[in-house]
Amino acid sequence: MKESSKIDKRIVLAHIAMFFVAFFYASNYTIAKPVMEGDGITPYVTPFGFIMLRITAATILFWFAQLFVQSETIDRGDWGRFLACAVCGVAANQLSFFHGLKMTTPINGALIMLTTPIMVLIISSIVFKERLTAFKLTGISLGLVGAFFLIYSNKEAIQSASNPALGNIFVAINATFYAGYLVMVKPLMTKYSPVNVLKWLFLIGFFIALPFGATDALAIDWQTLPTPIIWSIGYVLFFVTFMTFILNGLALKVVKPSVNSTYIYLQPLLTTGIAIAVGADQLSWQLFVAGGLIFAGLYLVAKQKNVSPDNTGETISK
């Protein structure tokens, strides 16, 4: 009975962690937008420069956090997976997303990203032989419909785009990279502590992203940046980058990638909620309908028949 209570507590904490990950990502749309919009003509920080800042800051923070966590020796056979996760989860996914977003519309980018849980489920079924249950398929479908409905009802987000077809391809590549990351990093998070995993992923990702973002990052004129913009940058570096990856890592020690990825459906709902809170939007019937579908979908995907230990001794959500 005590063991069951302990397992339930781990699962609850994992879902709380995933909720905050979704919240931080959702708040990023409101907080990071002024940084890249700048004065309307010139951005304070370019997208690639921002990516370089995020990866650099996270690398420093994770290596600093290592001082408070027991060091672990990485098995030689795991370094290939570390490299693949760094490419998919740290460098390539962010670079492809921002490159695609420059050419397509925000609404197209958001809708394409909603395919991530579907790709995670497909990859997990191939790699881990995860069973495609009726609960999961129904839950992902409900969440997808709810998020799609909420985003598409906001037609103000549609704007001109320079090359939407090519931009959509890059965003789809990003979604695929991120789905692959969630699946590939699960065994590492189970085997090692999240801090030890992420310090290496970001260090590797730093050198991969360096040729693409170093020039833009070094070109930032910090002395001319308004104080609110500096605070916004700090928020993105700490909460939207460092905290999201550490919380996701902790959650992936307990739940499967398919459960983790489904929380992406919460992002448009939370983004709308934040916009309402700051007076930039208002309550609508679409919000309640979409919210009901999304939460129903999350419940079905996370619904578990039982909890059992995996081959590493960690408990995982079935």
Q: Is the C-alpha dihedral spanning 265, 23, 288, 295 positive or negative?
A: positive
Phi-psi label, residue 313: left if phi above 0, alpha if psi -120 to 50, beta otherwise:
left
Q: Which two tokens stand for residue 106?
A: 């925000």
**Model pTM score:** 0.81
Is a pLDDT exceeding 50 seen at residue 249?
A: yes
**Distance between CA 221 and CA 44 in Å, rounded?**
8
- Region of 105 (left: φ > 0; alpha: ψ -120 to 50; beta: rest) is beta
Cα separation, 263 vs 261, whole angstroms: 5
Identify the band that residue 215 occupies on the pLDDT scale cut at 50, 70 and 90.
very high
Q: Give CA 189 to chain center in angstroms.
A: 16
Q: State yes or no: pLDDT of 292 exceeds 70.
A: yes
The winner for highest mean pLDDT among 52-61, 109-118, 154-163 is 52-61
Mean pLDDT, the chain, rounded, equals 82
Percentage of the chain exceeding pLDDT 90: 42
Can you read off the two tokens belonging to residue 176? 């695929």
- Distances in whole angstroms, Cα of residue 123 to Cα of each of 104, 112, 177, 180: 26, 17, 11, 7
Question: Which residues, 6 or more positions from 3, have their beta carbon under 8 angstroms from its beta carbon?
Answer: none
**123 or 177, greater pLDDT:** 177
Q: Looking at the predicted structure, is the pLDDT value of residue 313 above 50?
A: no
Helix 106-113 crosses helix 164-191 at what angle (to 10 degrees)? 40
**pLDDT reported for residue 245:** 96
